[in-house]
């Protein structure tokens, strides 16, 4: 995974979520996507698939938990740890 990919990840991930999942509802890096209902289980699958394709990584299903996928900021932190 290249550093420049991680630098732009928050912006690109936010844009994808707003465009394809929340259909224009604003999303900030710390917006709680799951507990607010903005993103459902299908949305999480779409986000995971997008991250795997975009970052060329494989995300273990065990890692798809609130602690890693509740907000865009947590998703970026998870990607950085990978």
Q: What is the pLDDT of residue 82?
A: 85
Token pair, residue 77, equals 């932190």
Fold classification of 3-81 is 1.10.1200
Q: Calculate the alpha carbon distances from 6 to 48, 51, 81 in Å.
A: 15, 11, 11
Which residues in the chain come in under a pLDDT of 70? Answer: 1-7
Q: What is the pLDDT of residue 3?
A: 52
Dmax over CA atoms of the chain, in Å, equals 32
* Dihedral sign (CA 65, 67, 72, 76): negative
Domain ranges, ordered by start, for the chain: 3-81
Q: Which pLDDT tens digit goes with each residue over 41-61?
A: 999 999 999 999 999 999 999
Q: What is the pLDDT of residue 47?
A: 98
Q: What is the pLDDT of residue 5?
A: 61
């Amino acid at each position: 995974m290249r550093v420049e990919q991680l630098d732009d990840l928050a912006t690109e991930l936010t844009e994808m979520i707003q465009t394809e999942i929340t259909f224009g509802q604003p999303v900030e890096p710390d917006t709680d996507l799951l507990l607010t209902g903005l993103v459902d289980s299908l949305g999480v699958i779409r986000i995971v698939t997008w991250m795997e394709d975009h970052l060329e990584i494989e995300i273990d299903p065990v890692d798809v938990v609130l602690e890693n996928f509740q907000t865009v900021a947590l998703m970026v932190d998870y990607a950085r740890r990978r």
